[in-house]
Protein backbone atom coordinates (compact mmCIF):
# COMPACT_ATOMS: atom_id res chain seq x y z
CA UNK A 1 0.00 0.00 0.00
CA UNK A 2 1.15 3.53 -0.78
CA UNK A 3 2.25 5.56 2.21
CA UNK A 4 2.00 9.35 2.17
CA UNK A 5 5.19 11.16 3.09
CA UNK A 6 5.57 14.91 3.64
CA UNK A 7 8.70 16.80 2.59
CA UNK A 8 9.69 20.42 2.28
CA UNK A 9 11.43 21.75 -0.84
CA UNK A 10 13.12 25.10 -1.45
CA UNK A 11 11.66 26.89 -4.47
CA UNK A 12 14.97 28.68 -5.08
CA UNK A 13 17.60 25.94 -4.94
CA UNK A 14 15.65 22.67 -4.53
CA UNK A 15 16.95 21.88 -1.04
CA UNK A 16 15.05 18.94 0.48
CA UNK A 17 14.23 18.77 4.19
CA UNK A 18 11.96 16.60 6.36
CA UNK A 19 10.85 19.66 8.32
CA UNK A 20 10.15 23.33 7.68
CA UNK A 21 12.74 26.08 8.22
CA UNK A 22 12.23 29.81 8.07
CA UNK A 23 15.50 30.18 6.14
CA UNK A 24 16.68 27.60 3.63
CA UNK A 25 19.91 25.93 4.84
CA UNK A 26 21.03 25.53 1.22
CA UNK A 27 20.73 29.03 -0.29
CA UNK A 28 19.94 31.10 2.84
CA UNK A 29 16.67 32.40 1.36
CA UNK A 30 13.85 33.26 3.76
CA UNK A 31 10.36 31.70 3.46
CA UNK A 32 11.25 29.61 0.37
CA UNK A 33 10.44 26.11 1.74
CA UNK A 34 7.11 24.70 0.60
CA UNK A 35 5.36 21.53 1.72
CA UNK A 36 4.75 18.70 -0.72
CA UNK A 37 3.43 15.17 -0.27
CA UNK A 38 4.87 12.06 -1.88
CA UNK A 39 3.51 8.54 -2.19
CA UNK A 40 5.97 5.84 -1.15
CA UNK A 41 5.29 2.23 -2.14
CA UNK A 42 7.03 -0.50 -0.15
CA UNK A 43 8.32 -3.45 -2.16
CA UNK A 44 8.73 -7.01 -0.96
CA UNK A 45 12.29 -8.26 -1.15
CA UNK A 46 15.45 -6.48 -2.15
CA UNK A 47 15.43 -7.73 -5.76
CA UNK A 48 11.79 -7.03 -6.59
CA UNK A 49 12.65 -3.86 -8.53
CA UNK A 50 14.99 -5.80 -10.82
CA UNK A 51 12.60 -8.58 -11.87
CA UNK A 52 11.29 -6.85 -15.01
CA UNK A 53 14.65 -5.65 -16.29
CA UNK A 54 15.30 -6.84 -19.88
CA UNK A 55 18.77 -5.39 -20.33
CA UNK A 56 21.74 -7.65 -19.65
CA UNK A 57 25.23 -6.51 -18.72
CA UNK A 58 27.71 -6.63 -21.59
CA UNK A 59 31.50 -6.28 -21.69
CA UNK A 60 32.28 -2.77 -22.87
CA UNK A 61 34.53 -4.09 -25.64
CA UNK A 62 31.54 -5.95 -27.15
CA UNK A 63 29.44 -2.79 -27.45
CA UNK A 64 29.49 -1.29 -30.95
CA UNK A 65 30.59 2.32 -31.17
CA UNK A 66 28.43 4.68 -33.18
CA UNK A 67 29.10 8.31 -34.02
CA UNK A 68 25.89 10.28 -33.78
CA UNK A 69 25.42 12.54 -36.79
CA UNK A 70 24.93 16.05 -35.45
CA UNK A 71 22.21 18.27 -36.86
CA UNK A 72 23.37 21.73 -37.93
CA UNK A 73 21.09 24.39 -36.50
CA UNK A 74 21.83 26.97 -39.19
CA UNK A 75 23.17 29.33 -36.48
CA UNK A 76 26.95 29.12 -36.30
CA UNK A 77 27.31 30.53 -32.79
CA UNK A 78 24.83 28.00 -31.40
CA UNK A 79 26.62 25.16 -33.20
CA UNK A 80 29.90 26.30 -31.64
CA UNK A 81 28.50 26.22 -28.09
CA UNK A 82 26.82 22.84 -28.59
CA UNK A 83 30.06 21.31 -29.87
CA UNK A 84 29.24 21.18 -33.58
CA UNK A 85 25.45 20.87 -33.69
CA UNK A 86 22.52 19.17 -31.99
CA UNK A 87 22.78 15.47 -31.16
CA UNK A 88 19.52 13.59 -31.95
CA UNK A 89 17.79 12.44 -28.77
CA UNK A 90 19.63 14.93 -26.55
CA UNK A 91 17.94 16.90 -23.78
CA UNK A 92 19.07 20.54 -23.55
CA UNK A 93 18.24 23.05 -20.81
CA UNK A 94 18.42 26.78 -21.62
CA UNK A 95 18.29 29.35 -18.81
CA UNK A 96 18.46 33.13 -18.68
CA UNK A 97 16.94 36.28 -17.24
CA UNK A 98 13.42 37.30 -18.30
CA UNK A 99 13.42 39.19 -21.59
CA UNK A 100 17.01 38.27 -22.46
CA UNK A 101 15.99 36.57 -25.72
CA UNK A 102 15.61 32.84 -24.99
CA UNK A 103 12.33 32.48 -26.88
CA UNK A 104 13.66 34.57 -29.75
CA UNK A 105 16.76 32.39 -30.09
CA UNK A 106 14.78 29.14 -30.00
CA UNK A 107 12.17 30.36 -32.47
CA UNK A 108 14.93 31.41 -34.88
CA UNK A 109 16.63 28.04 -34.36
CA UNK A 110 13.34 26.22 -35.01
CA UNK A 111 12.87 28.10 -38.26
CA UNK A 112 16.46 27.39 -39.35
CA UNK A 113 15.97 23.66 -38.68
CA UNK A 114 12.81 23.57 -40.77
CA UNK A 115 14.80 25.02 -43.68
CA UNK A 116 17.00 21.91 -43.56
CA UNK A 117 13.98 19.61 -43.85
CA UNK A 118 13.24 18.87 -40.16
CA UNK A 119 9.84 18.99 -38.51
CA UNK A 120 9.74 21.16 -35.36
CA UNK A 121 7.15 21.36 -32.59
CA UNK A 122 7.26 24.55 -30.50
CA UNK A 123 5.18 24.31 -27.32
CA UNK A 124 4.67 27.51 -25.34
CA UNK A 125 3.10 27.48 -21.90
CA UNK A 126 3.47 31.23 -21.40
CA UNK A 127 2.14 32.63 -24.68
CA UNK A 128 -0.82 31.91 -26.90
CA UNK A 129 -0.34 30.70 -30.46
CA UNK A 130 -1.30 34.18 -31.70
CA UNK A 131 1.45 35.80 -29.61
CA UNK A 132 3.95 33.26 -30.93
CA UNK A 133 2.78 34.02 -34.48
CA UNK A 134 3.36 37.75 -33.90
CA UNK A 135 6.95 37.05 -32.87
CA UNK A 136 7.41 34.73 -35.83
CA UNK A 137 6.15 37.45 -38.19
CA UNK A 138 8.68 39.91 -36.77
CA UNK A 139 11.53 37.41 -37.03
CA UNK A 140 10.51 36.05 -40.42
CA UNK A 141 10.31 32.55 -38.89
CA UNK A 142 7.43 31.21 -40.98
CA UNK A 143 7.52 27.65 -42.25
CA UNK A 144 4.90 24.93 -42.87
CA UNK A 145 7.07 22.44 -40.94
CA UNK A 146 7.03 24.58 -37.77
CA UNK A 147 4.12 23.49 -35.55
CA UNK A 148 3.05 25.67 -32.61
CA UNK A 149 1.00 24.65 -29.58
CA UNK A 150 0.01 26.52 -26.43
CA UNK A 151 -0.39 23.87 -23.74
CA UNK A 152 0.78 23.08 -20.20
CA UNK A 153 -0.78 19.65 -19.59
CA UNK A 154 1.91 16.98 -19.91
CA UNK A 155 -0.52 14.33 -21.16
CA UNK A 156 -1.81 16.61 -23.93
CA UNK A 157 1.78 17.49 -24.89
CA UNK A 158 2.72 13.82 -25.19
CA UNK A 159 -0.32 13.22 -27.39
CA UNK A 160 0.70 16.15 -29.62
CA UNK A 161 4.22 14.72 -29.91
CA UNK A 162 2.79 11.40 -31.07
CA UNK A 163 0.60 13.12 -33.66
CA UNK A 164 3.21 15.53 -35.07
CA UNK A 165 6.26 13.25 -34.68
CA UNK A 166 8.83 16.09 -34.73
CA UNK A 167 12.61 15.76 -34.93
CA UNK A 168 13.08 18.86 -32.74
CA UNK A 169 10.97 19.84 -29.72
CA UNK A 170 10.96 23.11 -27.74
CA UNK A 171 9.25 23.46 -24.34
CA UNK A 172 8.90 27.08 -23.23
CA UNK A 173 9.06 26.78 -20.30
CA UNK A 174 9.43 23.70 -18.08
CA UNK A 175 8.08 25.61 -15.06
CA UNK A 176 4.65 25.91 -16.70
CA UNK A 177 4.17 22.20 -17.52
CA UNK A 178 2.30 20.00 -15.05
CA UNK A 179 1.23 16.40 -14.58
CA UNK A 180 -2.43 16.01 -13.55
CA UNK A 181 -1.67 13.09 -11.20
CA UNK A 182 0.81 15.21 -9.19
CA UNK A 183 -1.08 17.33 -6.69
CA UNK A 184 1.44 20.18 -6.39
CA UNK A 185 1.20 23.37 -8.43
CA UNK A 186 3.00 23.91 -11.76
CA UNK A 187 6.55 25.13 -11.22
CA UNK A 188 6.97 23.29 -7.93
CA UNK A 189 9.96 21.08 -7.34
CA UNK A 190 7.99 17.84 -7.77
CA UNK A 191 6.27 18.97 -10.97
CA UNK A 192 9.50 20.19 -12.57
CA UNK A 193 11.32 16.97 -11.65
CA UNK A 194 8.58 14.62 -12.87
CA UNK A 195 7.91 16.53 -16.09
CA UNK A 196 11.62 16.68 -16.92
CA UNK A 197 11.83 12.91 -16.38
CA UNK A 198 8.94 12.44 -18.83
CA UNK A 199 10.64 14.63 -21.45
CA UNK A 200 13.88 12.72 -20.93
CA UNK A 201 12.11 9.45 -21.74
CA UNK A 202 10.53 11.07 -24.81
CA UNK A 203 13.89 12.38 -26.04
CA UNK A 204 15.77 9.14 -25.49
CA UNK A 205 12.99 6.77 -26.51
CA UNK A 206 11.89 8.53 -29.70
CA UNK A 207 15.21 10.16 -30.61
CA UNK A 208 13.77 13.70 -30.50
CA UNK A 209 16.19 16.51 -29.68
CA UNK A 210 14.39 18.42 -26.92
CA UNK A 211 15.10 21.91 -25.56
CA UNK A 212 13.66 22.97 -22.21
CA UNK A 213 13.55 26.64 -21.25
CA UNK A 214 14.13 27.18 -17.51
CA UNK A 215 13.48 30.19 -15.33
CA UNK A 216 16.34 31.55 -13.24
CA UNK A 217 16.47 32.78 -9.66
CA UNK A 218 17.67 36.21 -8.53
CA UNK A 219 21.16 34.74 -8.08
CA UNK A 220 21.19 33.67 -11.74
CA UNK A 221 20.86 29.89 -11.17
CA UNK A 222 18.17 27.86 -12.89
CA UNK A 223 15.10 27.59 -10.67
CA UNK A 224 14.04 24.20 -9.40
CA UNK A 225 15.93 21.26 -7.98
CA UNK A 226 19.63 20.84 -8.73
CA UNK A 227 18.68 17.40 -10.03
CA UNK A 228 17.26 19.17 -13.08
CA UNK A 229 20.75 20.06 -14.35
CA UNK A 230 21.98 16.50 -13.69
CA UNK A 231 19.17 14.94 -15.72
CA UNK A 232 19.78 16.86 -18.95
CA UNK A 233 22.64 16.39 -21.42
CA UNK A 234 23.48 20.05 -21.90
CA UNK A 235 22.94 23.22 -19.84
CA UNK A 236 23.16 26.58 -21.61
CA UNK A 237 23.00 30.02 -20.02
CA UNK A 238 21.90 33.02 -22.07
CA UNK A 239 23.55 36.09 -20.54
CA UNK A 240 23.68 39.79 -21.26
CA UNK A 241 22.92 43.23 -19.94
CA UNK A 242 19.44 44.54 -20.49
CA UNK A 243 20.83 47.94 -21.52
CA UNK A 244 23.23 46.45 -24.10
CA UNK A 245 22.36 44.89 -27.42
CA UNK A 246 24.71 41.91 -27.32
CA UNK A 247 24.07 38.54 -25.69
CA UNK A 248 26.39 35.71 -24.64
CA UNK A 249 25.46 32.03 -24.85
CA UNK A 250 27.60 29.89 -22.56
CA UNK A 251 27.58 26.13 -21.85
CA UNK A 252 28.13 25.06 -18.24
CA UNK A 253 27.49 21.37 -18.96
CA UNK A 254 27.82 19.49 -22.22
CA UNK A 255 28.02 15.71 -22.53
CA UNK A 256 28.73 15.97 -26.25
CA UNK A 257 31.29 18.77 -26.40
CA UNK A 258 33.39 21.36 -24.62
CA UNK A 259 32.10 23.85 -22.05
CA UNK A 260 34.73 26.48 -22.91
CA UNK A 261 33.05 27.89 -26.00
CA UNK A 262 30.78 30.94 -26.00
CA UNK A 263 28.41 32.25 -28.63
CA UNK A 264 27.95 35.99 -29.14
CA UNK A 265 24.80 37.56 -30.58
CA UNK A 266 23.50 41.07 -31.10
CA UNK A 267 19.84 41.90 -30.57
CA UNK A 268 18.20 44.16 -33.14
CA UNK A 269 14.77 44.71 -34.65
CA UNK A 270 14.89 41.48 -36.68
CA UNK A 271 15.97 39.27 -33.77
CA UNK A 272 19.34 37.87 -32.78
CA UNK A 273 22.19 38.29 -35.24
CA UNK A 274 25.49 36.42 -34.96
CA UNK A 275 28.58 38.50 -34.19
CA UNK A 276 31.34 37.28 -36.48
CA UNK A 277 34.06 39.51 -34.99
CA UNK A 278 33.41 39.90 -31.23
CA UNK A 279 36.77 41.60 -30.58
CA UNK A 280 35.78 44.52 -32.79
CA UNK A 281 32.47 44.80 -30.94
CA UNK A 282 34.05 44.85 -27.46
CA UNK A 283 36.69 47.42 -28.46
CA UNK A 284 34.37 49.75 -30.39
CA UNK A 285 34.05 52.27 -27.53
CA UNK A 286 37.59 52.00 -26.13
CA UNK A 287 39.14 55.36 -25.15
CA UNK A 288 42.68 56.01 -26.40
CA UNK A 289 45.51 57.42 -24.31
CA UNK A 290 43.75 57.00 -20.94
CA UNK A 291 45.49 55.77 -17.81
CA UNK A 292 44.22 52.44 -16.49
CA UNK A 293 43.04 51.03 -19.83
CA UNK A 294 44.68 47.99 -21.46
CA UNK A 295 43.70 45.44 -24.09
CA UNK A 296 44.10 41.74 -23.36
CA UNK A 297 43.95 38.80 -25.76
CA UNK A 298 41.86 36.14 -24.04
CA UNK A 299 40.78 32.70 -25.23
CA UNK A 300 37.19 31.54 -25.00
CA UNK A 301 37.47 27.90 -25.97
CA UNK A 302 39.12 27.90 -29.40
CA UNK A 303 38.26 31.54 -30.16
CA UNK A 304 40.60 34.46 -29.34
CA UNK A 305 38.80 37.55 -28.09
CA UNK A 306 40.31 40.99 -27.49
CA UNK A 307 38.66 42.92 -24.67
CA UNK A 308 39.47 46.05 -22.70
CA UNK A 309 40.34 45.93 -19.01
CA UNK A 310 39.87 49.17 -17.05
CA UNK A 311 41.31 49.92 -13.61
CA UNK A 312 40.76 52.88 -11.32
CA UNK A 313 43.02 53.46 -8.30
CA UNK A 314 42.01 56.29 -5.98
CA UNK A 315 43.07 57.24 -2.46
CA UNK A 316 40.76 56.45 0.44
CA UNK A 317 40.30 57.87 3.94
CA UNK A 318 38.87 54.66 5.36
CA UNK A 319 41.02 52.15 7.28
CA UNK A 320 40.24 49.28 4.89
CA UNK A 321 40.38 50.11 1.15
CA UNK A 322 37.74 48.78 -1.21
CA UNK A 323 38.50 46.08 -3.77
CA UNK A 324 35.80 45.72 -6.41
CA UNK A 325 35.97 43.82 -9.69
CA UNK A 326 33.52 43.09 -12.50
CA UNK A 327 34.23 40.41 -15.05
CA UNK A 328 37.27 38.89 -13.29
CA UNK A 329 37.69 36.96 -10.06
CA UNK A 330 37.88 39.23 -7.04
CA UNK A 331 40.44 36.99 -5.33
CA UNK A 332 42.63 37.07 -8.44
CA UNK A 333 42.66 40.86 -8.40
CA UNK A 334 43.68 40.90 -4.73
CA UNK A 335 46.50 38.46 -5.48
CA UNK A 336 47.87 40.69 -8.27
CA UNK A 337 47.67 43.76 -6.04
CA UNK A 338 49.68 41.89 -3.41
CA UNK A 339 52.33 41.03 -6.03
CA UNK A 340 52.57 44.68 -7.11
CA UNK A 341 52.98 45.80 -3.49
CA UNK A 342 55.60 43.21 -2.60
CA UNK A 343 57.62 42.94 -5.83
CA UNK A 344 57.16 46.40 -7.33
CA UNK A 345 57.06 48.50 -4.16
CA UNK A 346 53.68 50.10 -4.96
CA UNK A 347 51.96 51.30 -1.81
CA UNK A 348 48.33 50.36 -2.47
CA UNK A 349 47.21 49.83 1.12
CA UNK A 350 45.57 53.26 1.24
CA UNK A 351 44.09 53.04 -2.26
CA UNK A 352 40.67 51.89 -3.42
CA UNK A 353 40.94 49.55 -6.42
CA UNK A 354 38.17 49.13 -9.00
CA UNK A 355 38.52 46.77 -11.96
CA UNK A 356 36.13 46.30 -14.84
CA UNK A 357 36.07 44.24 -18.03
CA UNK A 358 34.39 46.49 -20.57
CA UNK A 359 31.42 44.97 -22.36
CA UNK A 360 30.27 42.67 -19.57
CA UNK A 361 32.48 39.72 -20.56
CA UNK A 362 33.62 37.34 -17.81
CA UNK A 363 37.29 36.34 -18.02
CA UNK A 364 38.41 33.37 -15.93
CA UNK A 365 41.71 32.30 -17.50
CA UNK A 366 45.05 33.24 -15.84
CA UNK A 367 46.38 34.76 -19.09
CA UNK A 368 44.64 38.05 -18.24
CA UNK A 369 46.86 38.59 -15.16
CA UNK A 370 49.44 40.70 -16.97
CA UNK A 371 46.84 43.09 -18.39
CA UNK A 372 45.28 43.48 -14.93
CA UNK A 373 48.65 44.32 -13.39
CA UNK A 374 49.48 46.87 -16.10
CA UNK A 375 46.03 48.48 -15.78
CA UNK A 376 46.40 48.86 -12.01
CA UNK A 377 49.95 50.22 -12.30
CA UNK A 378 48.92 52.60 -15.09
CA UNK A 379 46.08 54.06 -13.03
CA UNK A 380 48.20 54.24 -9.86
CA UNK A 381 51.06 56.08 -11.60
CA UNK A 382 48.64 58.02 -13.85
CA UNK A 383 50.61 57.01 -16.95
CA UNK A 384 48.52 56.02 -19.98
CA UNK A 385 49.38 52.86 -21.90
CA UNK A 386 50.06 52.83 -25.61
CA UNK A 387 46.75 52.69 -27.52
CA UNK A 388 47.95 49.95 -29.90
CA UNK A 389 49.41 47.54 -27.33
CA UNK A 390 47.99 44.10 -26.53
CA UNK A 391 49.29 41.98 -23.66
CA UNK A 392 48.67 38.62 -22.04
CA UNK A 393 50.43 36.35 -19.57
CA UNK A 394 50.05 34.65 -16.20
CA UNK A 395 51.65 36.18 -13.11
CA UNK A 396 53.21 34.09 -10.33
CA UNK A 397 53.55 35.05 -6.69
CA UNK A 398 57.26 35.79 -7.10
CA UNK A 399 56.55 38.35 -9.83
CA UNK A 400 57.43 36.14 -12.82
CA UNK A 401 55.40 36.09 -16.01
CA UNK A 402 54.51 32.52 -16.97
CA UNK A 403 53.79 31.21 -20.43
CA UNK A 404 50.26 30.61 -21.71
CA UNK A 405 48.79 28.45 -24.47
CA UNK A 406 47.64 29.43 -27.97
CA UNK A 407 49.92 32.48 -28.22
CA UNK A 408 49.93 32.35 -32.02
CA UNK A 409 46.15 32.63 -32.27
CA UNK A 410 46.08 35.57 -29.86
CA UNK A 411 48.75 37.42 -31.85
CA UNK A 412 46.95 36.81 -35.15
CA UNK A 413 43.72 38.20 -33.75
CA UNK A 414 45.53 41.35 -32.54
CA UNK A 415 47.24 41.75 -35.91
CA UNK A 416 43.90 41.43 -37.70
CA UNK A 417 42.47 44.34 -35.70
CA UNK A 418 45.44 46.63 -36.39
CA UNK A 419 47.41 46.45 -33.13
CA UNK A 420 51.12 47.13 -33.53
CA UNK A 421 52.78 45.67 -30.43
CA UNK A 422 52.28 42.53 -28.33
CA UNK A 423 53.68 42.08 -24.81
CA UNK A 424 53.68 38.40 -23.87
CA UNK A 425 55.67 35.88 -21.80
CA UNK A 426 59.15 35.04 -23.07
CA UNK A 427 58.33 31.33 -22.79
CA UNK A 428 55.40 31.69 -25.22
CA UNK A 429 57.63 32.86 -28.10
CA UNK A 430 58.80 29.37 -29.03
CA UNK A 431 57.20 26.90 -31.39
CA UNK A 432 55.40 29.19 -33.84
CA UNK A 433 56.16 31.64 -36.65
CA UNK A 434 56.04 35.32 -35.71
CA UNK A 435 54.24 37.66 -38.13
CA UNK A 436 56.38 40.42 -39.60
CA UNK A 437 53.92 43.28 -39.46
CA UNK A 438 53.71 43.49 -35.67
CA UNK A 439 56.28 44.00 -32.89
CA UNK A 440 56.44 41.16 -30.35
CA UNK A 441 58.16 41.71 -26.99
CA UNK A 442 58.77 38.84 -24.58
CA UNK A 443 59.04 39.54 -20.83
CA UNK A 444 60.00 37.36 -17.88
CA UNK A 445 58.90 39.49 -14.91
CA UNK A 446 56.21 42.00 -14.06
CA UNK A 447 58.91 44.68 -13.72
CA UNK A 448 59.95 44.17 -17.34
CA UNK A 449 56.35 44.31 -18.52
CA UNK A 450 55.67 47.56 -16.68
CA UNK A 451 58.90 49.06 -17.97
CA UNK A 452 57.88 48.26 -21.57
CA UNK A 453 54.18 49.14 -21.30
CA UNK A 454 54.50 52.37 -19.27
CA UNK A 455 57.75 53.70 -20.71
Report the distance separating Cα 210 and Cα 106, nearest Å. 11
Select from 258, 176, 252 the least CA-distant residue to 214: 176
Helix, strand or coil for residue 122? strand
Pick from 51, 439, 314: which is nearest to 424 by CA?
439
Helix H segments across 140-177? 154-164
> Is 123 annotated for ligand binding?
no
How far apart (Å, rounded) are the C-alpha atoms in residues 18 and 390? 56
Check the annotation: does 101 bind a ligand.
yes
Question: Would you call 421 helix, strand, or coil by DSSP?
Answer: strand
Query: CA 294: distance to chain centroid?
Result: 25
Q: Name 51's Cβ contacts closer than 8 Å, sequence gap at least 6.
A: none
Instruction: Tell me which residue of 400, 393, 403 sits closest to 446, measured CA to CA.
Output: 400
Ligand-binding annotation for 96, yes or no, is yes
Of 101, 86, 75, whose CA–CA distance to 169 is shortest? 86
Helix 446-453 with 330-344: angle, nearest 10 deg: 90
Q: Is 103 annotated as a binding residue?
A: yes
Is 26 annotated as ligand-binding? no
What is the signed CA dihedral for 54, 60, 62, 68, rounded to 10 degrees? 90
54 labeled binding residue: no
Question: What residues contact 18, with CB distance under 8 A and at least 6 apart?
Answer: 7, 8
98 carries a ligand binding annotation: yes
Please state, in angstroms and rounded to a whole number, the distance separating the CA atoms of residues 223 and 175. 9
Coarse DSSP helix, strand, coil percentages of the chain, rounded to the nearest 5 percent: 30, 30, 40
74 is in an annotated binding site: no
Q: How far apart are CA 424 and CA 437, in angstroms?
A: 16
* CA nearest neighbour of 123 among 149, 91, 155, 101: 149
Instruction: Detail the residues annotated as belonging to a binding site for ATP.
Output: 96-103
Instruction: Detail the residues annotated as belonging to a binding site.
Output: 96-103
Amino acid sequence: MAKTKTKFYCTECGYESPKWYGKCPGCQTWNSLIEETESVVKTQGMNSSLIHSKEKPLPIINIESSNEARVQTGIGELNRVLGGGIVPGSLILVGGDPGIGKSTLLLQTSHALTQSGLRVLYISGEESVRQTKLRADRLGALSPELYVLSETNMEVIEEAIQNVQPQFLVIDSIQTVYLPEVTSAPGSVTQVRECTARFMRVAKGLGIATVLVGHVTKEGAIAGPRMLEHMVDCVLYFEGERHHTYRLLRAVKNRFGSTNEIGIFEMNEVGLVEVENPSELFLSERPLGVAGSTVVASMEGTRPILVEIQALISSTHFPSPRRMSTGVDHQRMSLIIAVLEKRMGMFLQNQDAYLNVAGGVKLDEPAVDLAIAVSIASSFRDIPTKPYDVMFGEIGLTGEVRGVSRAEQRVKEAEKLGFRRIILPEKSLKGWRHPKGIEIIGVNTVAEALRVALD
